[in-house]
Amino acid sequence: MSKAEKTRQFIIEQTAELFNKKGYAGTSLSDITSATGLTKGSIYGNFENKDEVAKEVYLYNSKRLQNSFIGQLTSEMSTREKLFTIIDFYRKTWEINFSRGGCPHLNTAVEADDTMPFLKNEVSRNFEGWANQFSKILEKGKTQNEIVESIDSQKYAYQFITLIEGGILLSKTMNNKTHLFNALERIEKIIDNELIK
């Protein structure tokens, strides 16, 4: 890693929680300089503008979240174990994730929806990638004779995401983990009652 790359990474890491909590509009250049201890010139010497910082921070937050649960999956696990491991990740880490500002996908999607297409496109791609991960697990489960062959894997993948993100939204907004936990329990019932052979 070059010195410039290290500085870029430092800026991204130091502002990751800041952007996730305050959002794009709420994060000022002075917030960024305070969080990093760098000057305005140093920030813009490493990034073209605030848009680029926000985009790279979102991608960093998204990858960090994804790696947290994907890293827990092993090839020895059954399809059910893989799915339940992902669900359990949200149950076990809700407190630390909420303290960091909540889900970066949800936060960025809501803020960028009508005003920042450069961020909305990134969130959309990440949701597609997340759905594809769920779908691949289900499709592999079909080949291993663990999942009902007739199910639409993509449809269920997006249902899982909808329930997780909806649960996070309600729980974070209402300061009550019950809504997220209810959503996760619903996914587990769907897995056992509709997907597992």
> What tens digit of pLDDT does each residue of 122-172 get?
999 999 999 999 999 999 999 999 999 999 999 999 999 999 999 999 999
Q: pLDDT for 78-92, tens place per residue?
A: 999 999 999 999 999
User: Which structural domain range is residue 110 located in?
Assistant: 72-195
Question: Is 131 inside any structural domain?
Answer: yes
Structurally, the chain folds into a number of domains equal to 1
Burial status of residue 185 (CB atoms within 10 A of its CB: 0-12, 13-18, 19 or more) = middle
CA pair distance 158, 134, nearest whole angstrom: 9
Question: Is 147 inside any structural domain?
Answer: yes
Q: With a threshold of 0.85, does the pTM exceed it?
A: yes
Burial status of residue 172 (CB atoms within 10 A of its CB: 0-12, 13-18, 19 or more) = buried
- Checking if the pLDDT of 116 tops 90, the result is no
Question: Is 177 inside any structural domain?
Answer: yes
pLDDT reported for residue 197:
94
- Checking if the pLDDT of 69 tops 90, the result is no
DSSP secondary-structure letter at 194?
I
Give the mean model confidence (pLDDT) for residues 56-67. 91
CATH number at residue 149: 1.10.357.10
Q: pLDDT for 160-171, tens place per residue?
A: 999 999 999 999
